[in-house]
């Protein structure tokens, strides 16, 4: 993301990641999902490529983008 060719879309991607994070958080709150329940649930998410680790990575990217935006 720090490469020059990505600078023009950095703000757009940062906004999209924030929106995805908000949707995930609303879903978790709406259905009252806790981390412990994720381990007990059937493992359908892995087949779809969705993991709690990927959510964490997305959150980290959002934070990196926020820090970069503040620096600019």
8 A C-beta contact, residue 58 and residue 21: yes
What are the CA-CA distances from residue 37 to residues 40, 47, 55 (Å)?
5, 18, 16
pLDDT of 34 > 70? The answer is yes
* Residue with tokens 């820090």, as numbered in its chain: 67
Q: At what angle do helices 10-30 and 52-71 cross, to 10 degrees?
A: 140
| Whole-number percent of the chain with pLDDT over 90 | 25
pLDDT tens digits, residue range 17-30?
999 999 999 998 89
| Whole-number percent of the chain with pLDDT over 70 | 46
pLDDT tens digits, residue range 58-72?
667 666 665 655 555
């Amino acid at each position: 993301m720090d490469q020059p060719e990505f600078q023009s879309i950095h703000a757009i991607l940062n906004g999209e990641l924030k929106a995805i994070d908000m949707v995930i958080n609303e879903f978790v709150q709406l259905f009252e999902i806790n981390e412990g329940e994720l381990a007990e649930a059937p493992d359908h998410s892995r087949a779809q490529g969705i993991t709690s680790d990927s959510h964490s990575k997305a959150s980290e990217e959002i934070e990196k983008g926020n820090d970069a935006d503040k620096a600019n």
